[in-house]
Amino acid sequence: MLFELLKTDETSKARRGRLTTTRGVVETPVFMPVGTQASVKALDLRELNEMGTQILLGNTYHLNIRPGLEIITAAGGLHKFMNWHKPILTDSGGFQVFSLAKIRKIKAHGVEFRSHLDGSPLFIGPKESMEIQRVLGSDIAMAFDECPPHGCSAQDARNAVDRTLRWAKECLVQPRAQGQFVFGICQGGVDPKLREKCAKELVAMEFDGYAIGGVSVGEPEPEMMKAVELAEPHLPTNKARYAMGLGTPAQMVELVARGVDMFDCVLPTRIARNGTAFTRKGTFAVKGGAVKMDFGPIEEGCTCFACQHHSRAYIRHLLNVNEILGLRLVSIHNSHLYLRVMEDIRTHLAAGTFGEFRREFIANYRPSQKVLTARQQASLAKE
């Protein structure tokens, strides 16, 4: 069984589950650190394992360009290339094609565009995306979809759903790596009829799991939540649900309550590189002068390496003199926090106390406007 539903929450749509792949079991809800180019920014595999990382995300578009399939094939696949032996999910490349390519031409079976690196002509469609993911050898591959920008016209949204569904059928018939699962991606923005249409038709195709796409593409948070709420009722309870590209710790808690099982987001390491730390009460600028004489940890009670061994004042010093160790330590803390929040959610779901945990977490969390802006920017750029 790919996904096993272990327990549901009485106060919300939150679920405790278990995703079984050929390379290991993933306990859900789960956060997947983003390893766009076969590496999670600033973190090594030892650190990721020590944090309790269960599954990583890789990027089809970027890995196809660099290092290229020839090198990854010679290495024996993506897992061996990066020496990661746990599960990997690869996205389809669709988001990058539609967000990074300034000049593109949509064809019946894919998209013609130019590389963001050197402008060379490229083409990716369902067949090409699935072949790249087959060679990468990911445990979960994503169907190739069209991800329209926030604010697109109603007609563009309808066209995107129609293409996504047509391409989804093509993805299902392509060869796969041994033991590789494929998830379909539900589009439709905040149009109830489009979300329902896309979800129901994807479910009829019997994918191994389902993602909710077209979120965190510049829309306000209420619209993001609405998009998830519109798609979720039409997705099967016996398969995993993945909200792509989300979110802050508080957003993930709220999305778990809306029935989501899987998350990925570049924020933990992205804002760390700008000297900002996540805590269970929100964010703060470690680079700020307010902590120059603060010899406590980034967050009291945190068990990450950074908090156990270094002070805010020391880490601020490293950041302000541009020492790489500074951004690494904040990246370690932020990533550790994301994984611990997911672990806490699973524990409370198992104990039947998720409702109380959710209320307390949201009441104490105070996101800054800067972080919300960073999230929106992160969704439109490569990690």
Residuewise pLDDT in 10s, the chain (383 residues): 699 999 999 999 999 999 999 999 999 999 999 999 999 999 999 999 999 999 999 999 999 999 999 999 999 999 999 999 999 999 998 888 887 767 788 899 999 988 888 889 989 999 999 999 999 999 999 999 999 888 899 999 999 999 999 999 999 999 999 999 999 999 999 999 999 999 999 999 999 999 999 998 889 999 999 999 999 999 999 999 999 999 999 999 999 999 999 999 999 999 999 999 999 999 999 999 999 999 999 999 999 999 999 999 999 999 999 999 999 999 999 999 999 999 999 999 999 999 999 999 999 999 764 444 333 344 434 44
Can you give the pLDDT at residue 101? 65
Q: Is residue 73 part of a domain?
A: yes
Residues 251 and 277 grouped into a single domain? no
Claim to verify: residue 326 and residue 189 sit in the same structural domain:
no
Q: Locate tokens 């390496």: which residue?
A: 305
The CATH number for 142's domain is 3.20.20.105
Question: Is the pTM value of this prediction over 0.85?
Answer: yes
Q: Where are the alpha helices (DSSP H) in 286-323?
A: 305-309, 312-320
Report angle CA 65, 66, 72 to the nearest 5 degrees. Answer: 105
Domain count of the fold of the chain: 2
Q: Is there a contact between 249 and 358 (Cβ–Cβ < 8 Å)? A: no
Instruction: Give residue 216's pLDDT.
Output: 85
Q: Are residues 233 and 276 in the same domain?
A: no
In a domain, residue 377? The reply is no
Q: What is the DSSP string of 17-82?
A: EEEEETTEEEEESEEE-B-TTSS-TT--HHHHHHHT---EEEEHHHHHHTT-HHHHHHHTSHHHHH
Task: Give the residue among 375, 382, 280 at the shortest CA–CA distance from 333.
Answer: 280
Please give the positions annotated as active site: 91, 264
Which domain does 337 fall in, by range?
272-369
Examine residue 375 and state whether it is found in any structural domain, yes or no.
Answer: no
Note whether 261 and 308 are same-domain residues: no
CB neighbours of residue 162 within 10 Å: 16
What confidence score (pLDDT) does residue 375 get?
39
* pLDDT of res. 378: 40
Do 248 and 277 lie in one domain? The reply is no
> Based on the domain organization, do 255 and 149 belong to the same domain?
yes
Within a domain: residue 376?
Answer: no
Residues 245 and 358 in one domain: no
* Same domain (yes/no): 176, 283: no
Residues 280 and 253 in one domain: no
How many Cβ atoms are within 10 Å of 336's Cβ, its own excluded?
27
Strand segments, DSSP code E, in 60-150 are: 88-91, 104-107, 110-114, 121-124, 140-142
Q: Are residues 170 and 57 in the same domain?
A: yes
Residue 13 exposed, middle or buried by CB count within 10 Å (0-12, 13-18, 19+): middle
